[in-house]
């Protein structure tokens, strides 16, 4: 295994492995954005230097955009969704010369046509063996995966469930998991957390599940095990789900170390929320009320908003942006401790959804080749920074980014623990007049301050993380 995050020059390491002749298959995990930028040239080099090596891509990008990947001359197979069973089965088929058509969860090209085998089932999360971290440690010291964050000195990322039972129309998880969700039992999760604490001094966990909080019963059982164990944690959930939790559960979660929860608030506009298929239960009023409720238990809500959805006319797109900004300001006035993250809407093709039809009707098209995906414009699309969607004018994109700069300076994120109280105060004072007056245009002085203080942008980088 070669970890692109831990190697200065991943290609030279991959090259040296393949040059031994011991490996016949090269597998690569690909998320949109920077991972894609690295995966394309490296896979191309593999194909050009070692033409006999079979190449396999897995992860969110190829699972959601398989046609463009399979059409490229460098990728032979895509694993669509979970790889635990599909990859070994594919390897067996390749080694035994049996038809790949019988392996679930694989996409490939035959006679110029894309072939998709049936979706692979989500593996039972309770039967997987503990991750062989000792094998990983032979090449990459584990401490390098346990950075300091606002949560703790040694933060570990952990995945305890797969998929999500909801089907929000804009979400990349939906085409892959189609409303399916499977979780690891609370006791096994707690055992794993405590084992990491005892073996590696882990005192903080980021649960990177799409939806950690689907089942209150599981969260309660996990929380009971974690009270008094000295581990803080963060996870991602839905407002309408956790709003159903009892007060006793929220208090227990806090006592068990839950510090912050990430929520896709998306918009304060009820009509917008309905068009996103947010389950029909989330509303603007609830977003506001719930922030207050969660904060009263000492847990910080981290709300993400998605701006720039398609509307029938330019005037309506502008009106929607202004409404969303006004809502975010109302939220901050009411509960300033709420963390706010802004994204620009970047379409994911969930075929058959209303939103999908709307974006095609508005003239949107994805790149036709992998090389096209490498252009800086499409990298920004992937990062939700500049979506290249025809209904968003450059002036709108600029306005949203300028508002974001002022908002982030007025309310610097708690998750950046390096800016210090003085740095935080200074930014707040500098941003206050603009924020109060609602004047966001060209906030160059705030941009400069953020750059000088190396202000972290959680929407792109995740939490501020410093290697110990
Ligand atoms: C952790 C994470 C990050 C971390 C990445 C840290 C790192 N460098 O590894 C950070 C915070 C930096 C990050 C950033 C971004 N992320 Co991110 N991230 C995630 C998250 C929460 C977990 C991913 C993960 O590790 N899962 C655990 C592994 C085990 O699961 P998996 O990746 O699905 O892998 C399985 C299969 O896909 C398959 N598989 C995967 N790779 C391979 C390879 C082979 C060879 C095979 C056979 C199989 C296979 O098998 C695995 C096991 O079943 C996901 C959401 C989620 N809960 O999954 C979003 C997610 C992947 N991120 C997403 C995005 C968009 C981004 C960004 C591009 C933009 C952004 N603004 O968020 C940036 C840029 C990323 C980059 N640097 O390249 C989106 C992708 C959307 C899409 N359209 O495809 C997701 C789905 C979030 C979402 N719901 O929108 N991210
Ligand atoms: S609840 Fe979250 S992860 Fe689940 S479909 Fe909706 S946006 Fe995606």
Geometric angle at alpha carbon 127, from 175 and 184, rounded to 5°:
60
CA 142 to chain centroid: 23
Band (34; pLDDT cuts 50, 70, 90): confident
What is the torsional sign of CA 373, 376, 381, 387? negative
Give how far the C-alpha of residue 138 lies from the chain's centroid of Cα atoms, to the nearest Å.
28
- Gyration radius (Cα) of the chain, Å: 23
User: CA 128, 132, 134 angle in degrees (round to 5)?
Assistant: 165
- Residue 52: Cβ within 10 Å count: 8
Share of the chain above pLDDT 90, in %: 74
The predicted model gives 123-151 an average pLDDT of 93
User: Which residue, among 176, 285, 184, 191, has the nearest Cα to 240 in the 3D structure?
Assistant: 285
Q: Read off the pLDDT of residues 207-255 as tens digits, 9 standing for 90 and up.
A: 999 999 999 999 999 999 999 999 999 999 999 999 999 999 999 999 9
Residue 281 has pLDDT above 90, yes or no: no
Bridge partners, residue 163, by sequence: 181
Sign of CA dihedral 223, 243, 303, 172: positive
Name the residue at shortest CA distance from atom 1 of ligand 2. 166
Ligand 1, atom 82, residue with closest C-alpha: 172
Q: Residues lining ligand 1, CB < 6 A?
A: 5, 27-29, 31-35, 56, 58-61, 64, 79, 82-84, 87, 159, 171-173, 208-210, 348, 382-384, 459-460, 462
Pairing of strands 155-158, 161-163: unpaired
Q: Is the pLDDT of residue 388 over 80?
A: no
* Ligand 1 center to 402 CA (angstroms): 28
Contacts of 248 (CB under 8 A, 6+ apart): none
Q: Average pLDDT for residues 353-364, to the nearest whole number?
A: 71
Nearest CA, atom 2, ligand 1: 208
* Alpha helices by DSSP H, 158-202: 173-177, 186-200
State which H helix or E strand residue 205 sits in: strand 204-207
**Ligand 1 center to residue 274 CA distance, Å?**
26
Enumerate domains of the chain plus CATH numbers.
Answer: 10-116 (no CATH), 133-328 (3.20.20.70)
CA-CA distance, 115 to 388, in Å (whole number)? 30
Name residue, tokens 């933060």.
155
pLDDT winner (highest mean) among 63-72, 295-304, 352-361, 423-432: 295-304
User: Which of these, 36, 75, 65, lies nearest to 383 by C-alpha position?
Assistant: 36
For residue 203, pLDDT over 90 is answered with: yes
If you measure from the C-alpha of residue 467 to the centroid of ligand 1, how many angstroms do you get, rounded to a whole number?
21
Cβ(353) to ligand 2 under 6 A?
no
Instruction: Give the per-residue pLDDT at 401.
Output: 93
Q: How far is CA 468 from CA 144, 145, 153, 234, 253, in A?
A: 7, 9, 8, 20, 28
pLDDT of amino acid 376: 80
What is the overall mean pLDDT for the chain?
A: 91
> What is the number of the ligand 2 atom nearest to the C-alpha of 236?
2
Q: For residue 185, what pLDDT is reported?
A: 98
Q: How far apart are CA 132 and CA 458, in angstroms?
A: 29
Nearest CA to ligand 1 atom 23: 208
Mutate to test the pocket of ligand 2, among 64, 171, 276 (most ligand atoms within 8 A of CB): 171
Q: Point out the least confidently predicted range of 174-183, 306-315, 459-468.
A: 459-468
pLDDT of residue 347: 72
Strands annotated E in 318-365? 339-344
At 423 the pLDDT is 86
Residues 435-464, mean pLDDT to the nearest whole number? 82
Residue 466's pLDDT is: 81
Mutation to probe ligand 1, out of 31, 89, 158, 305 (largest number of atoms < 8 A from CB): 31
Q: How far is the CA of 312 from the centre of ligand 1 (A)?
A: 32
Paired strand residues for 115: 108
The residue contributing the CA closest to ligand 1 atom 88 is 172
The ligand that comes nearest to the alpha carbon of residue 64 is 1
Looking at ligand 1, which atom is closest to the CA of residue 56? 45
Q: Is the pLDDT at 350 greater than 60, yes or no?
A: no
């Amino acid at each position: 295994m070669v970890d692109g995050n831990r190697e200065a020059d991943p290609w030279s390491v991959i090259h040296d492995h393949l040059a031994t002749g011991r490996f016949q298959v090269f597998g690569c995990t690909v998320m949109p954005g920077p991972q894609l930028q690295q995966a394309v040239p490296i896979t191309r080099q593999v194909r050009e230097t070692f033409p006999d090596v079979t190449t396999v891509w897995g992860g969110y990008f190829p699972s959601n955009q398989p046609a463009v990947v399979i059409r490229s001359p460098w990728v032979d197979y895509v694993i669509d969704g979970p790889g635990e069973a599909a990859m070994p089965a594919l390897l067996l088929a390749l080694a035994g010369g049996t038809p790949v058509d019988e392996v679930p969860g694989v996409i490939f090209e035959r006679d110029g046509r894309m072939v998709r085998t049936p979706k692979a089932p989500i593996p039972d999360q309770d039967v997987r063996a503990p991750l062989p971290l000792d094998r990983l440690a032979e090449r990459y010291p584990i401490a390098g995966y346990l950075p300091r964050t606002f949560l703790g000195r040694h933060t570990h990322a952990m995945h305890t469930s797969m998929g999500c039972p909801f089907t929000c129309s804009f979400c990349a998880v939906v085409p892959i998991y189609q409303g399916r969700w499977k979780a690891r039992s609370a006791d096994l999760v707690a055992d794993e957390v405590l084992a990491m604490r005892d073996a590696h001094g882990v005192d903080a966990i980021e649960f990177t599940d799409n939806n950690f909080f689907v089942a209150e019963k599981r969260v309660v059982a996990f929380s009971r095990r974690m009270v008094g164990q000295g581990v803080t944690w963060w996870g991602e959930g839905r407002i309408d789900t956790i709003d159903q939790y009892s007060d006793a559960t929220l208090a227990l979660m806090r006592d068990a170390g839950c510090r912050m929860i990430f929520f896709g608030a998306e918009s304060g506009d009820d009509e917008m929320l309905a068009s996103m298929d947010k389950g029909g239960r989330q509303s603007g009023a609830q977003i506001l009320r719930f922030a207050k409720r969660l904060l009263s238990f000492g847990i910080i809500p981290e709300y993400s908003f998605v701006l720039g959805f398609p509307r029938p006319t330019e005037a309506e797109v502008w009106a929607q942006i202004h409404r969303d900004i006004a809502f975010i300001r109302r939220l901050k006035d009411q509960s300033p401790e709420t963390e706010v993250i802004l994204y620009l809407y970047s379409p994911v093709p969930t075929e058959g959804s209303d939103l999908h039809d709307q974006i095609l009707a508005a003239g949107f098209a994805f790149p036709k080749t992998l090389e096209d995906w490498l252009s800086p414009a499409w990298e920004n699309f992937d990062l939700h920074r500049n979506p290249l969607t025809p209904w968003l004018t450059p002036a709108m994109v600029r306005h949203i980014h300028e508002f974001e700069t002022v908002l982030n300076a007025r309310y610097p994120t708690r998750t950046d623990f390096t800016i210090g109280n003085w740095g935080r105060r200074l930014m707040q004072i500098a941003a206050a007049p603009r924020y109060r007056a609602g004047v966001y245009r060209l906030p160059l002085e705030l941009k400069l301050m953020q750059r000088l203080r190396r202000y972290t942008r959680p929407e792109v980088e995740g939490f501020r993380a410093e290697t110990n």
